[in-house]
Amino acid sequence: MAKKKKEEVIIDTRPDAPVTDQPITEMLEQNYMPYAMSVIVSRAIPEIDGFKPSHRKLLYTMYKMGLLNKDRTKSANAVGQTMKLNPHGDAAIYETMVRLTRGNEALLHPYVDSKGNFGKQYSRDMAYAASRYTEVKLEKFCELIFNGIDKNAVDMVDNYDGELKEPALLPVSFPSILVNSNMGIAVGMASNICSFNLKEVCEATIAHMKDPSADLLDIMPAPDFSGGGQILYDQKVMKEIYDTGRGSIRIRGKYTVDTKKNTITIYEIPYTTTMEAIIDEVCELVKQGKIKEISDIRNSTDLKGLKIVIECKRGTDHDALMTKLFKFTKLESPFSCNFNVLVNGSPKVLGVYGLMDEWLKWRRECIKRETAFDLQKKKDKLHLLEGLAKILLDIDKAIAIIRNTELEEEVVPNLMKGFGIDEIQAEYVAEIKLRNINKQYILNRIKDVDDIKNEIADLEDFLVKPKRIDNKIIEVLKDVIKKYGQERRSEVVRQEEVDTFVPGQEIEDYNIRIMLTKHGYLKKHTLVSLRSAGELKTKEDDEIFIDVEATNLNDILVFTDKANVYKAKAYEFDDTKPSEYGHYLPGTLGMDDGENVLFIIVTKDYKGNLMIGFENGKVALFPISVYETKQNRKKLINAFFDGSRAVSFIVLNENENPDLVAQSDISKAAVFESKLVPLKSTRTTQGVQLLTSKRGSKMISIRRVEEASFKDPEYFRIRRLPAVGYFIKDDLMMDKQINLNLEGI
């Protein structure tokens, strides 16, 4: 049934034209809906290849200009050429180009190699230079988005005036829709796709192809942004994003503290904000009196990258100040995910799994089209060579036919009749130069016929076996990882591992005593409570073995038998009464089942060195400053060597060189100077051998000599490491009982 032709609406625009009523629904349908669909389909929403039309037109124009292999050209030249495909004006095209450049730093993997000032994604006020001053070419990376475009991998459509052809999609070799951020606002809908690490995306895609039920969070745990920062990881939210394509990710900036200059330097900020916006917000908070610890803030960004320097007042708790800034400024900002893409011309909101499925479906079709193109080329070549082979049977006959033909237009028909070949084969034979009409030339041309037949059979087999197509995709993805894979820029941190600001929280600093019992109870006493206290309460089979003076703003490092270190602030623990057991650290710090506390260090400046003795007779010495992290980590895994059980912890001041004594379980001891143990720079060092194992002996302790109750310590003196040690005799001891003590500060 023929479709009814829509009546043309003619609007009378004369001033004296009569006014006619038109239903609002008709007006919207006739005028607004076409505009809305145009914006959705042809402008704002990216397609499955990861590009909007403006991106695609620009990149394809640069590709046709040869800028994938040539030197850079002026940006104005590329913009002008793109106007043949994109009618929206040079300003809009150049703005699109700016975001795709390496200089702007908006993308994890930029598509345009740039020279000149292209502004910065993280700056609101740093304007880009005019197109006549800057130069561009395509990045080598772009070879991945144009492979196969000349082999009919994608449809080619008319441009806006029908004079040129342009690709409907680009045949990208990897899931680019997930690799680079893309945002668009259409009519009645929007799209906001975050970027993921290229290496992780390719590995996850391979895993998904091999096992559709595989948990991609194990391979690709979170997005990755070009500006870095910290992603506060919430597994439930992340899983929702992967499943549905909707959810909100929180991103924090990164900072370092210079205690000597009393400054905080912010060097990475969330992708969704700018450094000027953050500085403005901080200044406003200072003016309102909400933050009193800041004396100055300045933008020190240079050629090395972003840098916001905050000068603090004396006595400022830098980490506590940063928790306030994370709370009240865009230093911690959300990224709202809305994975809305066009699939076959229709907008769909898909999760990571859905996007991968759609991309794979589309990519398989691209490879089939490329293969079909190659197959047809092979068949065409074989067809010509088969015609040439027939000529070989009687070259003289072919020459005679051509020579005896009076009219040029009859040469091809006569060859067709004389040798039983079709028009294409005859045309090919007729075009051979006279000098090439010889047996040697023809034999050389047709000798590859068998190889071509084998190649055709292989291509036909490839097209009918989906497994081979998938293997091809996997092979390409592995090559992408090898050539262009990079480590992630955004750090993934669990939410429970970072400090958050509590409204109304005012931290008071005062002197305290920190005590630790062998069962893992931490007691925090004010000096006033201890003056009138009697015996401090512990469980019957428990006792206090660390007792140190501190202040309420000190850091507490808790070492466990799982080689982990938990970091906490003293003020995070409530003051305890002498009659209370204290805070049970495994529960308070959220330790794993079966994880036990071995030792604590209470520090403010992280000065001094830590010596750890291990059961295998080794001893490690390294600075305590290795635990001073730039961010407020709550848990440090692999915090020290875990190849043997730790039996002793000793804290040494920087210039301290005390005599220490090591004891084994076969009653041997060795007295040595602590300087014999070399200072290492890494916390996971296994150290050096101190006691040599005899008959499977184990080291059970290291402590200061004055705690060992030796009558003559020099009897046990060793001059170099390792050593066997000396047997402990009763007449050398003032106290026969030797207790294992873990020493704190």
- For residue 332, pLDDT over 90 is answered with yes
Mean pLDDT in residue range 513-536:
85
On the question of a cis peptide bond just before residue 722, with omega within 30 degrees of 0, the verdict is: yes
The CATH code for residues 45-172 is 3.90.199.10
More confident residue, 119 or 315: 119
Residue 3 has what pLDDT? 45
Average pLDDT value for residue range 635-651: 93
**Better-scored residue on pLDDT, 156 or 87:** 156
Q: What angle do CA 686, 737, 691 make, to 5 degrees?
A: 25
- Tell me what pLDDT residue 17 has: 63
Instruction: Write out the H or E segment, with its range, that includes residue 659.
Output: strand 659-664
Q: What is the three-class DSSP state of 637?
A: coil
133 is catalytic: yes
3-state secondary structure of 581: coil
Task: Give the phi and the psi of residue 193 in degrees, each rounded to 5.
Answer: -110, 125
Tokens of 418: 């004389």
**Annotated catalytic residue, options 133, 160, 510, 715:** 133
Q: Give the residue ranges of DSSP H helices in 228-345.
A: 235-244, 275-287, 318-328
Sequence-ordered list of residues with C-beta below 8 angstroms from that of 613, at least 6 positions apart, any chain = 619, 646, 647, 648, 649, 650, 662, 690, 699, 701, 702
Q: What is the mean pLDDT of residues 533-561?
A: 87
Topology match between the domains 254-330 and 605-745: no
- Please give the average per-residue pLDDT across 72-88, as a whole number: 94
Is 706 a residue whose pLDDT tops 90? no
CA dist., res. 572 & res. 582, Å (int): 13
Task: Categorize the per-residue pLDDT at 94 as very low, low, confident or very high, splitting at 50, 70 and 90.
Answer: very high
**C-alpha span between 398 and 421 (Å, rounded):** 12
- The pLDDT score that the predictor gives to residue 92 is 92
pLDDT tens digits, residue range 578-627? 888 899 999 988 898 889 999 999 998 899 999 999 999 999 999 999 99
Q: Residue 505: its pLDDT value, please?
A: 55
Q: Chain-wide mean pLDDT for the chain?
A: 88
Q: Which residues are CB-contacts of 70 (< 8 A; sequence separation ≥ 6)?
A: 137
555: which 2 tokens?
Answer: 């850091």
* C-alpha dihedral sign at 121, 124, 126, 132: positive
Cα-Cα end-to-end distance for the chain: 92
Task: Specify the pLDDT at position 406.
Answer: 85
Amino acid at 441: Y
Q: Is the dihedral of CA 624, 625, 627, 633 positive or negative?
A: positive
609-614 vs 618-623, strand pairing mode: antiparallel
For the chain, the domains span: 45-172, 254-330, 364-484, 507-604, 605-745
Please report the pLDDT score of residue 714 as a whole number: 87
pLDDT score of 199 more than 80: yes
Q: In whole angstroms, give the CA distance from residue 152 to residue 370.
A: 6
Q: Enumerate the β-bridge partners of residue 334.
A: 250
Measured distance CA(173)–CA(142) in Å, rounded: 10
- Spelled out in words, what is the top-level CATH class assigned to the domain 254-330? alpha beta
For 415-432, the pLDDT digits (tens) are 898 888 999 989 888 888
Q: Are 530 and 578 in contact (CB under 8 A)?
A: yes
pTM (predicted TM-score): 0.69
Give the other-Cβ count within 10 Å of 19's Cβ. Answer: 5
pLDDT band with cut points at 50, 70 and 90 for residue 393: confident
For residue 224, pLDDT beyond 50? yes
Q: Which CATH architecture has domain 364-484?
A: Orthogonal Bundle (1.10)
SS3 content of the chain, % helix, strand, coil (to 5): 35, 25, 40
pLDDT of residue 731: 66
Superfamily name with CATH number, domain 605-745: DNA gyrase/topoisomerase IV, subunit A, C-terminal (2.120.10.90)
Which residues, at least 6 apart from 199, have a Cβ–Cβ distance to it below 8 Å? 481, 485, 486, 487
pLDDT category of residue 157 using cuts at 50, 70 and 90: very high
Give percent of the chain with pLDDT exceeding 70: 93
Q: How confident is the model over 212-228, as a mean pLDDT?
A: 94
Q: Residue range 661-678: average pLDDT?
A: 91
Residue 183 is predicted with a pLDDT of: 86
For residue 295, pLDDT over 80 is answered with yes
pLDDT of amino acid 561:
93
